[in-house]
Amino acid sequence: MLYDLIDHDLIDVVNHNSDAWEDAVKTTTSYLEKKGYVTANYAEAIIQSTYDNGPYYVLCPGIAMPHARPEAGVLKTGLGIHIFPTAIEFGSDLGPANILLTLAATDPDTHIEVIQALSEMLVDEENIARLTAATSKNEVLDIIKAY
């Protein structure tokens, strides 16, 4: 279950707006860094990758999955879920996102289980709407409990 696979300390409803996407990436990766999932340079690796390759991680309107290559500072596989009060513009044709699913994967295969469970939850537009409107970590946890 997604609820059991995700470290609950990596889930939060961010109480401040982020005017720049770079700041949002730094905010979300700081949770991963504090818990030992990534090194301090992981945020910069995501930012540089975005400059080099564009916002490839915007999955659909409202949802982005910022990540970088394992060698960019991933220590262990983890996924952070962060809801921002307003959508952040990454420059994607898919539009801005206020749900950031920050991924740290040690290799291409280790995160498959989390991604599969996550995609089951995100195919339901009602879940996306509920996540977008979440105002507390407990609301986010309630949504993912079914997955």
Count the neighbouring beta carbons within 10 Å of the beta carbon of residue 52.
Answer: 8
Phi, psi for 129 (deg, rounded to 5): -65, -40
Amino acid letter, 31? Y
The helix/strand/coil state of 142 is helix
Catalytic residues: 67
Rg (CA), the chain: 14
pTM summary value? 0.92
Smallest Cα–Cα separation from 104: which of 24, 12, 20, 30? 30
Domain range summary for the chain, segments of one domain joined by +: 2-145
- The pLDDT tens digits for 84-120 are 999 999 999 999 999 999 999 998 777 777 788 899 9
Cβ-count burial of 126 within 10 angstroms (0-12 exposed, 13-18 middle, 19+ buried)?
A: exposed
Of the two residues 4 and 102, the one the predictor is more confident about is 102
User: Which tokens is 18 given?
Assistant: 């982020």
> Which residue's structure tokens are 């982005």?
64
Q: Which CATH entry fits the domain spanning 2-145: 3.50.50.60, 3.40.930.10, 3.40.50.10800, 3.40.50.620?
A: 3.40.930.10
Dihedral of CA 134/136/139/141: which sign?
Answer: positive
**Model confidence pLDDT, tens digit, residues 19-66:** 799 999 999 999 999 999 999 999 999 999 999 999 999 999 999 999
Element (H, E) at 59: strand 58-60
